[in-house]
Amino acid sequence: MAATTAWRNWAGTESAVATDVVRPRDLEELAGAVTKAARDGKTVRARGSGHSFTAVGAAHDVALDLGDWTGITSADIDTGLVSVRAGTTLRALNAELDRLGLAMTNLGDIDAQTISGAISTGTHGTGARFGGISTQVAGLELVLADGSVVGCSASELPELFAAGRVGLGAFGVIASVTLQTEPSFVLAAEERPEPLDEVLEALDENCAHNDHFEFYWFPYGPKALTKRNNRLPAGTKPEPLSRARQFVEYELMENRAFGTLCRIGRRVPKLVRPLNKLSSNVLSARSYRDVSHRVFVTNRSVRFVESEYAVPREALGDVLAELRRRVPKLADPVMFPVEIRVAAADDIWLSTAYQRDSAYVAIHQFVGMPYRAYFDLFESIVGDVGGRPHWGKMHTLDAAALRERYPRFDDFVDLRTKLDPGGLFANPYLDRVLGKTV
């Protein structure tokens, strides 16, 4: 029993033990599980893949395992509208879309999440003209607290649609997602190390002139690894890196070798700074072109903990200047790089990019190394500019603090109270960030 009810997230930062696990195979079983939990006076949550660093997906009563509720159910090649069951991972979805000649407009660099979990926590990629994955949602189907199944879109229950695309699982269990996809496309990828000062000086130009721009900065090194991904004309043939080079650069260098350096740094902290500089200095340039999802997604096998905040685009320079000034003074060294991405403003109530063009600053630490002082410092810096935490990344904010950062926060909470007055879909994380319903 413990093997099926016990849950731990990918990073090992959160765990929970459910009283029961239900694995629905159809919509009727899914709705039935919700109805039964309500009748028994228990809470119910969909677990997802466990890739969030927070306990947003933790189930302490009834856990829904959507592993049998997967796959595309309909696809209109002409319009690009695709409906997919909630338990489908991004990895599986990308493969199925590829076979249909379709693609997601934008993606993050991890594809282990379920589609429902990814949108519910505000997962995003990068690109000044592109929103997060939730902006690609054209419709949702949810099981509400009374067991009813409802659909919502821009024209049907528009308030639920505006809130539910980044809904934290607070309104109900997502049964299926309708996505606005587009014809498959090839990205030209250019990755190279550059002096950080030059990257920051040209940041606005890089964001404006590239479809998808991001960079990584190792805190004790002077260089950043920049990534520019740009769309190529329809019909362009992929020219990926050779299998040998993919293995050497991604698997061997970025996973195995970097993992070894991290373990050395964890064992001997005084070596972290020179190892960090070494990692920065051995970065190599590479150019290739491939089908979009193979460029967006990167395999990450080195485990870490992460905090990420969205800040106003114009505040990014000040945030990074403070990090550069203050991180080297921390007592405990930082092994992992800082990741910088950008996204366009959107209209989703609890989206981190709600009504503002945003820059995302993500900080990481290797598992087992001290991180609390670093993360607290980071939160104080981004808090000064109204930073909004990624819902699936580690943060300490509660409902009172978050209310000040989201103009539609109270509207979200009011809708939650209306649809789930008894807190059927609550868990301790939602109690903290949204407040208790009862």
Residue showing tokens 């409906």: 83
CA distance 142 to 129: 29
Residue showing tokens 């991405």: 341
Please give the structure tokens belonging to residue 230: 């740009």
Please, which residues have CB within 8 angstroms of residue 273's CB and are 6 or more apart in sequence? 220, 333
CA distance 370 to 330: 11
CA-closest candidate to residue 89, choices 139, 27, 133, 54 = 133
What SS3 state is found at 373? Answer: helix
Q: What is the pLDDT of residue 1?
A: 37
Q: What is the pLDDT of residue 275?
A: 85
CA distance 20 to 2: 10
Label the pairing between strands 182-183 and 102-103.
antiparallel
pLDDT in tens, the chain (438 residues): 334 899 999 999 999 999 999 999 999 999 999 999 999 999 999 998 999 999 999 999 999 999 999 999 999 999 999 999 999 999 999 999 999 999 999 999 999 999 999 999 999 999 999 999 999 999 999 999 999 999 999 999 999 999 999 999 999 999 999 999 999 999 999 999 999 999 999 999 999 999 999 999 988 888 899 999 999 999 999 998 888 877 777 776 777 888 888 899 999 999 998 888 777 776 778 999 999 999 999 888 889 999 999 999 999 999 999 999 999 999 999 999 999 999 999 999 999 999 999 999 999 999 999 999 999 999 999 999 999 999 999 999 999 999 999 999 999 999 999 999 999 999 999 999 999 986
Beta bridge partners of 21: 63
Q: What is the pLDDT of residue 3?
A: 43
Q: Are 366 and 304 in contact (CB under 8 A)?
A: yes
Task: Supply the DSSP symbol for 374.
Answer: H
pTM of model > 0.85: yes
Q: Are 119 and 137 in contact (CB under 8 A)?
A: yes
- The domains found in the chain, sorted by start residue, are 72-183 (3.30.465.10)
Angle, nearest 10°, between helix axes 272-281 and 258-267?
Answer: 160
CA distance 134 to 117: 10
> What are the backbone angles phi and psi of residue 114, rounded to the nearest 5°?
-75, 155
Q: What is the pLDDT of residue 72?
A: 98
